[in-house]
Structure 1
Amino acid sequence: MDLGLTPLQAFFKVTLPLIAPGIISGALLAFVLSLDDFVITQFTAGVGATTLPLRIYSMVKFGVSPEINALSTLMLLVTVLIAGSAELSRIKGAAKQG
């Protein structure tokens, strides 16, 4: 025990809240880079592995369809929701600190 907490409690009450912004930032960066870096994704994707940007690119070859518009809108919506929730969590954390 350290200061009245077990190691597991100390991790969840102290360590995890301190590293959460870094974990969230890293996840958002990885997500955005996977959407943006199409060429690298295309060359490094394994056989049978199709990411959403690769799928949309292969569908665009045959013309823009409503399905492509819907997928692009969903990708944009997910990105905005994740970024918005990260910003809200940052604001709430700043308000708690004073």
Structure 2
Amino acid sequence: MVFSRVRLGLNPEMNALATLFISAVTIGVIVVNQAMIARERRRVADMKAAFAAA
């Protein structure tokens, strides 16, 4: 459907759909990145605690 629209010219509906899709992907990437950063911080804190206890 998207490729047939490209041949005929994009309309505002396709632009809106593309904007929503790009926004959803961007938000998903940000959320996953924040989760990975938090997990890494917890891992580093756990390693520091383990080395301090040893």
Whether the TM-score (by the shorter chain) exceeds 0.5 is: yes
4+ residue runs over 3 A deviation = none
How far did 1:75 drift? 1.6
How far did 1:87 drift? 0.2
TM-score (norm 1): 0.40
| 1:63 aligned partner | 9
Give the paired residue count: 44
| Whole-angstrom distance in 1 between the partners of 2:14 and 2:6 | 7
Q: Does 1:87 align with 2:36?
A: no
**Greater Rg by CA:** 2
TM-score (norm 2): 0.66
| Whole-angstrom distance in 2 between the partners of 1:90 and 1:72 | 27
How far did 1:60 drift? 1.9
Pairwise CA RMSD of aligned residues? 1.2
Equivalent residue letter for 2:13: E
Which consecutive residues of structure 2, in runs of 5 or more, have no partner in the other structure? 46-54
* Identity in percent: 25
